[in-house]
Amino acid sequence: MVILDDAPLRATAIRINLEALERPLIGGERFSIDHPRWRHRLYEIKKISGDAIQFRPPLREAVTAGTSLIFVIPNASCAPLAT
């Protein structure tokens, strides 16, 4: 599944290609995006309206059309705290 339009940093809604889904979205699903700079970041769908989804938290990095969403095994990259 891919993003249909570019989305800026801190966006909370994107359009996606729903044809790639095996079953309809209902909200609450988690997905990740492998951002070029910040790597994998986890998001959760809050609302679906047509081919648009609203999610939280806001995007941690701008994304371009064609960026893949990972639903099968979403993951997040975390850095340890400096001591």
> What are 4-37's pLDDT values in tens digits?
999 999 999 999 998 878 888 999 999 999 998 9
Is the pLDDT at 1 greater than 80, yes or no? Answer: yes
| Residue 18 DSSP code | G
Say how far apart CA 23 and CA 30 lie, in whole Å.
14
> In this predicted model, what pLDDT tens digit does every residue of 57-73 receive, in sequence order?
999 999 999 999 998 88
CA distances, 3 to each of 14, 20, 37, 78, 80 (Å): 7, 11, 18, 24, 30
Would you state the structure tokens that stand for residue 12, as one six-digit string? 């909370």
Rounded to two decimals, the pTM is: 0.87
The C-alpha atoms of residue 82 and residue 64 are separated, in whole angstroms, by 32
